[in-house]
Amino acid sequence: MSTTTEKREDAEKIAYALVKKKLAACVQILGPISSTFWWKNRIQNVEEWLCLIKSEKSVYGRIEKAIKEIHPYETPEITATSIVAGSKEYLKWIDQELKSES
């Protein structure tokens, strides 16, 4: 899953909240990145921070809700992509972290 924010501080708040709530095993913050997109009938080009969220499909709805509670954007990017392959040990670690006690 992923989301972008305008400020690094917002990305860090989202990362901390998702990991603390055991909705993500890990959130990586990359940036700044350059994003170009249509918004309100104009092309925008902004600097953003990308959050890569390591989690499972079963908690997507809870992740989306948690991000929306924190995110300052009117319409934040919140997307999910499937892991088509990964090391058995890493995928097991994600599963264990999401199920372990806080």
Sequence ranges of the domains in the chain: 2-99
Mean pLDDT per 10-residue interval, the chain, length 102 residues: 98 98 98 97 98 96 98 97 95 92 58
Q: What is the pLDDT of residue 92?
A: 96
**Per residue in 4-40, is it b (16+ CB within 10 Å) or e — as a string?**
bbbeeebbeebbebbbeebbbbebeeebeeeeeeeee
Give yes or no for a contact between 94 and 87, defined as CB atoms under 8 angstroms apart. Answer: no
Architecture of domain 2-99: 2-Layer Sandwich (3.30)
pTM over 0.95: no
